[in-house]
Chain A
Amino acid sequence: MTSIPEFMTAKHRECDEFFIQAENAIADNNWLLAKQAFSQFSAELTIHFQAEEDILFPEFEQATRITQGPTQVMRGEHQQMRTLVADLLVALSAEDKDAYISVSETLMVLMQQHNMKEEMMLYPMSQQRVPAPDALLTQVIEHCQITENG
């Protein structure tokens, strides 16, 4: 069985893939492909945020008794990324290439530094600190599968 850091990191990479597909399609002025890839990216990101905010972070907070630290910052950054994703959607709907690339560059940097904190610290700590990491991982995987299929 995989671990929390491995599974969640792989999910980050999946989101990156869809994000890049959309951005590259826009660089090629292929708006149809861009809209498809963007919608997959947006859906994946939403599922990932839900898995963290509703399942992983509460378990981490309970295990470490830290509720106002890292998870709070991560929640705040999720909110900021949601705002940028909404800006991307506006640029995509208007088929405004320059506006899209400008926002996507910003989101990319924000997303990557956010991922770095999670992958280097939060996920490994969750794996170590929560009392039943395998059960927690199963819960996260089920959430992702049910939401993706639903």
Chain B
Amino acid sequence: MNIANLSFSALPPINVPFRHFISAVIFLLLTALLILISGEKIWLSRWQPILLAITHLFTLGFISMVMMGAIYQFLPVIGGVGITNVRNVATVSHCLHTLGTLTLSWSFITPSTFARVLAILTLGIGFGYYIFSVARVLIKKLSQGPAIIGLRLAILSLTFVVVLGGLFIGQNSLMPYVNISFFADKSYTDIHALLGGFGWAGGLILAVSLQIIPMFHVTPSFPKWLAKYMLATLISLLLLLFFFKANSVGGQVIIAFVLVTYAVFNLAFLRLFKQRKRKVVDTSIHFWQFAGSSFLALTCLYFLADDFYQQVFSGNKALLLSAVFIYFYLISIIEAMLLKIVPFLSYTHLQNLCLADFNAMSHLPYMHDLLLKKHSRLLFKFHILSCVLLILTIAVPRFYWGFSCAMLVEFSWLLFLIIRSLNLYRRCLMKIKNMAV
């Protein structure tokens, strides 16, 4: 274990994770507006260009944006070492990621070579710089716990997803002299989506929850075999899809194994929450339980006969399953984590200032003040409402406006909660600084 750079106080500046969280929520508000103005026709198939733009606004604009911000914070805590020159890395990659997500979405809606070139450059350089900076920390001999190993596997998956994504944008017009037309095969899109969903986002959730759930929710630990082998098994299965087309029998069996493996992880954390000893009500646990149950339902839905999808969802099985995975599962867990991270970060940064002057602790707010419990409960209710309206919209697309409005309400509320916490942080910071003067 290398201890030369070890520092438990190497927290990134508070604006680093917060700029990611705020941008992510703004991206979802934009997405809700796009859904509102696009009408019902986009819900016919997942290959509709506007729906592809919306999918990437969810995955790049919200999910990856929050996760990238959280990693800046998470690395020093679990690895004891932060990213070198974190302010610069965050500024460059955040700006390029924001611009890249916007231009990629634009290129889906209004195809143009300029938009594609801009998207490939901004996302390629933005992700490249980010992955390089995080990988430089991860290749050091840090603590060898499952959380760090899981983080490495998640970043490896992200690398595959980014390279595949770059090749999709670049095929045909941008690489006229290189024949990569085989990429037009939709099974590569499925690998891109599955590696992004289960390797990057799902993998990171698995890695982080091994540490976060037992510690912050005071539950028993995950079983050792799960912590040690599950994510590696999952990523190996996903990589097998390069050899078996996703729509072949072999590919379908692999996808079924991926779902069942990940369902086992969800069952495991649902069981841990059931064994939780604390009686104090915690809304973030409701989000986790909702997400875990949704994933189990998704796994069952996957095995249902096509007749069901024909009758209820106009044959849109892939659209329904992707929507449940992104909105019911990933977004629920990210909101659960934000409910913990936002007050925790504000508190930790203020608390660090008080390490030098204990009298300043009188100006520290309690965690409750930074995010009120009744506000969290309301967010959960808004989320359930938008989930119901999403399913209704996939079944009966003319209700799209209801889903869009529910999204606007949910994410405006989340934005308010983040800004409120940040505002209270600033007020306390002023008091502590005034005290020092």
Contacts and interface: CB of A to CB of B under 8 A. Distances in A.
Interface of A: 16-17, 20, 23-24, 27-28, 64, 66, 69-70, 73-74, 76-77, 79-80, 83, 101-106, 108-110, 112-113, 115-117, 120-121, 124-125, 128-129
19 contacts: A16-B218, A24-B278, A24-B279, A27-B279, A28-B279, A70-B8, A73-B8, A79-B355, A80-B355, A83-B361, A102-B367, A110-B351, A112-B216, A113-B215, A115-B215, A116-B78, A120-B147, A121-B1, A121-B143
B347 A109 contact: yes
A106 B277 contact: no
A101 B280 contact: yes
Given A24-B277, A73-B355, 5 more contacts: A80-B361, A103-B366, A112-B215, A120-B78, A125-B3
Interface string B344-364: 100110010011001001000
A66 B279 CA distance: 41
B143 A120 contact: yes
Q: Is the interface of A mostly helix, strand, loop or mixed?
A: helix
B172 to A, nearest CB: 48
B111 interface: no
Given A27-B280, A70-B8, A80 B354 contact: yes
B250 interface: no
B145 interface: yes
Contacts of B351: 80, 110
B371 to A, nearest CB: 10
Contact of B218 (A20, A27, A110): A20
A115 B278 CA distance: 18
Nearest to B76: A117
B8 A74 contact: yes
Contacts of A16: 218
B129 to A, nearest CB: 27
Contacts of A69: 6-8
Contacts of A70: 6-8, 80
Which of A79, A113, A128: most chain B CB closer than 10 A?
A: A113
Contacts of A80: 351, 354-355, 358, 361
Nearest 8 A/B pairs, CB to CB: A76-B355, A73-B8, A106-B367, A27-B279, A121-B80, A112-B215, A24-B279, A102-B368
Contacts of B77: 113, 116-117
B133 interface: no
A70 B145 CA distance: 19
B149 to A, nearest CB: 12
B348 to A, nearest CB: 7
A11 to B, nearest CB: 15
Interface string B124-153: 000000000000000000010101000000
A56 to B, nearest CB: 15
Interface in B1-17: 1, 3, 6-9
Nearest to B276: A20
B366 to A, nearest CB: 5
A109 B7 contact: no
Contact of B367 (A17, A66, A105): A105
Contacts of B368: 101-102, 105-106
A20 B282 CA distance: 14
Contacts of B3: 64, 66, 125, 129
